[in-house]
Structure 1
Amino acid sequence: MTPRHTLAAIGVAFWALVGCAQAQQHDPATPLAVASKVALRGDAHGIAVREMRLVRKNDILVVQADMANMGRSDRTVFYRFRWLDNVGNQVGDGESWKQMTVLGLGQQTVKSVAPTGAAVDLRLEMNVEPR
Structure 2
Amino acid sequence: MSAASKIDEIGMDSVTESNVERYSIPCGPTERLSMYSKRRITVAALSLIVLSTLSVAAPASGLISSKVELTTSNDNVQVTDLRAVQSDRLLRVQAELTNFSPYNQQVYYRFKWLDKNGFTVWDDEPWKPMIVYGSQRQIINVSPPSLFATDFRLVLHSSQR
TM-score by length of 1: 0.73
- Partners of 1:36 and 1:47 in 2: how far apart? 17
Work out the CA distance in 2 between the residues paired with 1:94 and 1:58: 24
Q: Equivalent pairs: percent with the same residue?
A: 34
Which residue identity does 2:77 align to in structure 1?
I
1:44-71 CA distances to partner (integer Å, 9 max, x unpaired)?
2411101111011221101010000011
Moved over 4 A (4+): none
In the aligned structure 2, how far is the partner of 1:94 from the partner of 1:130? 24
Q: Higher relative contact order by CA 8 Å / sep ≥ 6: 1 or 2?
A: 1
State the superposition RMSD in angstroms. Answer: 1.4
Q: Which amino acid aligns with 1:43?
A: S
Aligned length: 102
Moved more, 55-64 or 30-39: 30-39
Match of 2:26?
none
| Alignment correspondent of 1:4 | none
CA distance in 2, matches of 1:70, 1:84: 30
Separation of aligned partners in 2, 1:41 and 1:31: 18
Q: Which runs of 5+ in 2 are unaligned?
A: 1-59
Q: Provide structure 1 residue ranges, at least 5 long, that are not aligned to the other structure.
A: 1-29
State whether residues 105 and 159 of structure 2, in contact with CA within 8 Å, keep that contact through their aligned partners in structure 1: yes
Find out whether 1:113 has 2:143 as its counterpart. Answer: yes
- TM-score normalised by the chain length of structure 2: 0.60
1:93 deviation in Å? 2.2
* Aligned with residue 69 of structure 2, among 36, 39, 51: 39
Q: Which amino acid aligns with 1:66?
A: E
